[in-house]
Structure 1
């Protein structure tokens, strides 16, 4: 007994959040209000980035301030690149939506439906935890500057140069700066989680394909669906799934590459900041939240990329469960075709430079640890390793 499972509903939250800002190709994007929101988001982000850049030129001799400014600037560079890349590749998201509405992928039995629901629920739980972490960073930016106040000086979430005295409009400037961080976190985390949920779907769909291949030889000639027909459907399903993974890579590849480069720089700069500021200051707590958020972001991409590669690699093992000696020659040839293709696991790459898997994550960790030890950041080195241990245990 089969049913049609609406796979695309698993990332409805991300579609709505990106659609509100006008960056997801849905019908709502055509509205005047949405276009205004989209323009406001871009304007505020670039204005604040320009303000920080101008201020940095005047503080070139202050290493501590420059590192803090560069920390924010690098994060914004990664965010803007990801956003531009996503908008440019908007047509791919339309193709993904169409592909996930195809009955080849949506028609499942009760067992497969349970598999989909379980994995989607896990992805949604991870999404909630990640959003809480991002929200903690935004709240920290809004609250902690007030705890580190010095007499006669007004603190802001981050430095900036303005054509007016910001102290005269302290509350307004403060709110705008927090909003910039909030909008960046909102859109950045949403694009991250869209990738997470799409790769989760790819992972469970590969698992479903493995189950179907294993059960293919259980067919009998007198059944409506013979071994030959079952394997034909598996080939079509496999091709559709490979197209889906290819679209995921094409949509997010460049943005992930820039994110990785910027994240490595940000993690190092955060470690430097944690070393030069007072451990008892509120800013140190902010940096701890920020450090965890950035390492979690890199870890998520590699972890879910690893799951896709791992599940696609299991297709070969599934083929070995088929009683090939009991099926006809035509079915045996189709089985060989599936096995030959499965020799090369589906892997999501970052701009074709490196794959998103645990090997890449460990390489990044090793390089960061090497740099931290080189510069005497022993506390940050220990913190980074403890975080990765906790990440994998979770």
Structure 2
């Protein structure tokens, strides 16, 4: 029994396949888009449920099983549509020019958002670093009897740590996947560069591509490292204050700040992939 006609008939009813010069072409494409969007939306919901579900291991297992199945289906649909002949024909000048303009606008839109999000992460690092420097300067000016000033410095330090945790939860969710993709890109780029002559155009292009990825990683690691070093300066600021003339109660407040900043405040994911120069190296 020949199953291919039946397969293509099912795909045709699903909207994934259509014959050339078929009537109702526009309606067929809309039907195809709705069907694909429904499958991808359901897959996204299942993946989100796996990520957000934390209470019931049975629900997580069931959602993970379904998410894997639907994720595989999404890849199959994409692969099938991408490899079918005449799926997207740019032989027409109108279609070609529209594609070029659309891709240019999309690239510009993506660049603006990508740059803004990266700059926002770095800006948050700079804000935290500035607050740490301000607190260190206030600590150096402390003197005996200034209990309110000492408490304010301790509270300021606690608020900075809370802000760092919030920024950490936001940044690491984006940076760690980026690190993985960057490492894969750098490794593949070096492997490809080994195939070309060092003075060739291909080698130069790959070299620039690898440097671009390294620079992107370096920006995160540099500002994360500055935050860690600045937080460690809190202990030095306490030593430079007039702590010798303070009473035991006042010294106790300063000791709390010293202990909390002994290791420095670093941006990491549960201690893994910390944003510092060691990670970059």
Please report the TM-score for the alignment, with normalisation by the length of structure 1: 0.46
Do the aligned residues in 2 keep the contact of 1:192 with 1:297 (CA within 8 Å)?
no
Report 1:24-63 matches (<5 A): none
Do the aligned residues in 1 keep the contact of 2:139 with 2:237 (CA within 8 Å)?
yes
Judged with a 3 Å threshold, the aligned counterparts in structure 2 of structure 1 residues 202 and 330 are, in CA distance, closer, same or farther, namely same
Q: Aligned match of 1:298 in 210, 217, 239?
A: 217
Q: Distance in 2 between matches of 1:323 and 1:271?
A: 55
Do the aligned residues in 2 keep the contact of 1:305 with 1:348 (CA within 8 Å)?
yes
Q: Aligned match of 2:179 in 260, 265, 270?
A: 260
Q: Distance in 2 between matches of 1:176 and 1:272?
A: 33
Q: Aligned match of 2:242 in 310, 314, 323?
A: 323
Do the aligned residues in 2 keep the contact of 1:305 with 1:356 (CA within 8 Å)?
yes
Give unpaired runs (5+ residues) of structure 1.
1-42, 51-83, 89-159, 220-225, 363-394
Do the aligned residues in 1 keep the contact of 2:231 with 2:265 (CA within 8 Å)?
yes
Do the aligned residues in 2 keep the contact of 1:253 with 1:352 (CA within 8 Å)?
no
Report 1:123-202 matches (<5 A): 163-168=87-92, 169-202=95-128
1:200-256: CA deviations, max 9, x gaps? 111121111111111112x6xxxxxx5211111101110111111111101111211
Do the aligned residues in 2 keep the contact of 1:253 with 1:351 (CA within 8 Å)?
no
Q: Which has the higher contact order (CA 8 A, sep 6+)?
A: 1
Show the counterpart of 2:261.
342
Q: Distance in 2 between matches of 1:171 and 1:263?
A: 32
Q: Distance in 2 between matches of 1:352 and 1:337?
A: 22
1:35-74: CA deviations, max 9, x gaps? xxxxxxxx9xxx9xx9xxxxxxxxxxxxxxxxxxxxxxxx
Q: Distance in 2 between matches of 1:227 and 1:253?
A: 39
Alignment size in residue pairs: 200
Do the aligned residues in 2 keep the contact of 1:316 with 1:342 (CA within 8 Å)?
yes
Show the counterpart of 1:17.
none
Show the counterpart of 1:354.
273
Q: Say if 2:122 is the partner of 1:203.
A: no
Give the root-mean-square deviation of aligned CA atoms.
2.8
Shift of 1:329: 2.6
Give unpaired runs (5+ residues) of structure 2.
1-32, 41-47, 53-81
Do the aligned residues in 2 keep the contact of 1:274 with 1:287 (CA within 8 Å)?
yes
Shift of 1:307: 0.5
